[in-house]
Structure 1
Amino acid sequence: MPKGLYFFVCLQDWDDSTPRPFEEDLNVRLIKLHVGGGKPWLTSKLTGFSGLMCGGYITSSSLCICVDRIGQVFTKNIEGGEIEQDIAGGGGEGPMRGGVRRLKQINGWLYASGGGRSLCKRLGRNDWEEIGVLPPEGKGEVGFDDFDGFSEADIYAAGGQGDVWHYDGSAWRQLPFPSKMWIESVCCGADGHVYIGAQNGHVFRGRGNRWEHIHEGDLSLPFKDMVWFGDRIYATNDYGLWEIKDGIVGCSSEPADITICSGNLSVGDGVMLLAGHYGAALHDGNSWVQLFSIAKLENQANLASGASE
């Protein structure tokens, strides 16, 4: 993938005075930003998608892969885009038993996790395979809402109420976890620990059969994303940015023009991207820079509209 190329999923806004529409009835845009490119902005219009997520992987010629909650797939290539076949599954069958919850890279390959304890890997166009023999589908509130891996043979997947599993390259094993809290996010850190974000911002750290509760959460939202970058974990939700270093969780001290971009995090090619309702920012390993601000873009559009009247 070319340097300085970033993709964003944008959802149509609606009038707050009216009932919220179903997400599949709203227009969705996949927006490409190529910093330093000849044409920095490019938009793909999509309809009928709900809860769209996007990701990429270095083993593919596709620039970006998008998957929604029900497994619909859209690929963005250098020459246009394509709606592919849905990820197979449902009704207890793999590779995707339930709704798709997360896309993430492991070792350059794109993986997707979903309900009913399912995890699959994209091999190519219209080709997804389940990871191992999937664990029992389970009853009640089970995973997988998120996952991460130290390698393709060392994957942690979790979700539901304290439902944590490990894949060793050949088989899945359920791990003893010290809580029945709702799990939202998983990150395998370069320090050798696995970090799990639970309801209200609680954080657990461990690996295998050993886990400790390192942070008592008091937030209205859990951490939707947790990533390792540099020498620490970065965690975010729609309200802010947090950092976890040496087992200590704290609010980020970065300036407001950076933290206002909080929402989702992604790491790749030596940089970390932060994007949310109000804009996007980039960390290059040394410092942050704001890529764009929604408020500034709206102001520029209004000024241009007024000038043309």
Structure 2
Amino acid sequence: MSADLEFTNAKALDKDSIYISGSLDSMPAYSQHTRLCILDFQANHLWSKHDVDWWNAGLEIFVENDDTEWQLLALSNEGSIEFICSSRNPIVEKIPGAGVYSTDAKGWGYMRRLRQIGDHLYAVGGAGQVYKRLGANHWEHMDDGILQLPTVEDRLLLADINGATEDDIYICGGIPGAYGLEGRLYHWDGKQWSTLILPTTERLTAIHVDDNKKIWICGTNGTLLFGNWINGFKDLSSIDDNQLFYSLTKFNDRIYLASNLGLYVYDGTAIKEVRTGLVPELQDANVIDAADGVLWSIGSKDIARFDGTTWERIHHPDNPPIGGSSINGGKP
């Protein structure tokens, strides 16, 4: 089946390959259906894809123990995780209790993000759900003090989890408050969670870990925070910034931010729009990610990569070309 796609998630694998999820334009919004696609310039077939009957909430690479083989992971909003690797058929695990309509759902809500930190996988979701994978089909709560009752009205919606080590982890999100969904940030020190003081009330959406002392967090209304749990966080955004930042990453000593208004970069002084030289310019960006010396930008319909010198737009075969199948631009 071929149909127009709206890209929803992405994970950069290396300079020549990326894992992308998308929803079909022909189906209602947030339908329980996702197309998972792999772009690989080194493969015999540029694109490979398969469809699943659930909504994708996150993508991740997982290297288990001393195994050097990648496993590509896709998390459903109901808490199922598909594992794909070249040496075996795909397998699926389910986080017990997660989700809304799953038969084992406890009422906490949908899952939102999946990450490998250290040797383990971690996942977060609604009502303060935080899980750690201890082994195959062995997921356990690690949300003591954060997990809410399923009946709570003001629900904590966790959006991301990331950390330098497994005893230095951050989770972020938002909870209803006087100013709408207000940001929340927590830190795990290996024993317990602590709530961190924020310089903003804006909802937080994503975390990038540079090292254990350099943590970058983005959010609504142009929010960009920098700091750590020991020294606190500083708000680097200005009152003129009104972008909704979905994700962020570091590339060539700059922080790039994906937003509903396009691609932005923090150059150490201010947040500025990235001009790629592509025709047309990037209109939005859902995900920004870097791997193997290449920066990848994924918008609702647009795929582009940057090698530090030149931007290139990449055509997905399920969508009409944007300004041609592939266009090279100039410097940002």
Structure 2-normalised TM-score? 0.74
Alignment match, 2:303: 280
Tell me: CA distance 1:283–1:22, structure 2 relative to 1, closer, same or farther (3 Å): closer
Tell me: CA distance 1:77–1:295, structure 2 relative to 1, closer, same or farther (3 Å): closer
CA–CA separation in structure 1 for the residues paired with 2:299 and 2:188: 32
Q: How does 1:142-291 map to 2 (within 5 A)?
A: 142-160=156-174, 161-190=182-211, 192-208=213-229, 210-216=232-238, 218=240, 221-256=243-278, 259-260=282-283, 262-284=285-307, 286-290=308-312
Tell me: CA distance 1:192–1:250, structure 2 relative to 1, closer, same or farther (3 Å): farther
> CA RMSD for the aligned pairs?
3.4
Tell me: CA distance 1:259–1:151, structure 2 relative to 1, closer, same or farther (3 Å): farther
CA–CA separation in structure 2 for the residues paired with 1:28 and 1:263: 16
Structure 2 residue 43 is matched with structure 1 residue 37? yes
Deviation per CA, 1:254-300: give whole Å up to 9, x if none: 2235735722122334433221223322234x334425135996359
CA–CA separation in structure 1 for the residues paired with 2:292 and 2:139: 24
Tell me: CA distance 1:153–1:269, structure 2 relative to 1, closer, same or farther (3 Å): farther
- Contact between 1:69 and 1:99, CA under 8 Å: does it hold in 2? yes
Tell me: CA distance 1:191–1:256, structure 2 relative to 1, closer, same or farther (3 Å): farther
CA–CA separation in structure 2 for the residues paired with 1:2 and 1:226: 17
SS in structure 1 at match of 2:221? helix
CA–CA separation in structure 1 for the residues paired with 2:119 and 2:246: 22
Relative contact order (C-alpha < 8 Å, sep 6+): which is higher? 2
Alignment match, 2:34: 28
In the alignment, structure 1 segments of 5+ residues that lack a partner are 15-19, 301-309
SS in structure 2 at match of 1:246? coil
In the alignment, structure 2 segments of 5+ residues that lack a partner are 1-12, 175-181, 323-332
Tell me: CA distance 1:136–1:43, structure 2 relative to 1, closer, same or farther (3 Å): closer
SS in structure 2 at match of 1:201? coil
- Contact between 1:87 and 1:96, CA under 8 Å: does it hold in 2? no
Give 1:226 shift: 1.3
Which residue, out of 6, 17, 22, partners 1:5?
17
Deviation per CA, 1:101-155: give whole Å up to 9, x if none: 1223334654322122233334454333444x53332563434212221222211
**Code of the aligned partner of 1:70:** E
Tell me: CA distance 1:201–1:298, structure 2 relative to 1, closer, same or farther (3 Å): same
**Code of the aligned partner of 2:256:** Y
Alignment match, 1:128: 139
CA–CA separation in structure 2 for the residues paired with 1:126 and 1:283: 38
Residue correspondences, number: 291
Structure 1-normalised TM-score? 0.79
Deviation per CA, 1:218-247: give whole Å up to 9, x if none: 566510101122312111123311111325
Identity %: 22
Structure 2 residue 124 is matched with structure 1 residue 113? yes
Deviation per CA, 1:182-206: give whole Å up to 9, x if none: 2222222359332222322222322
CA–CA separation in structure 1 for the residues paired with 2:200 and 2:248: 19
Tell me: CA distance 1:289–1:251, structure 2 relative to 1, closer, same or farther (3 Å): closer
Structure in which a larger fraction of residues adopt strand = 2
Alignment match, 2:330: none
CA–CA separation in structure 1 for the residues paired with 2:304 and 2:79: 29
- Contact between 2:202 and 2:221, CA under 8 Å: does it hold in 1? no
SS in structure 2 at match of 1:85? strand
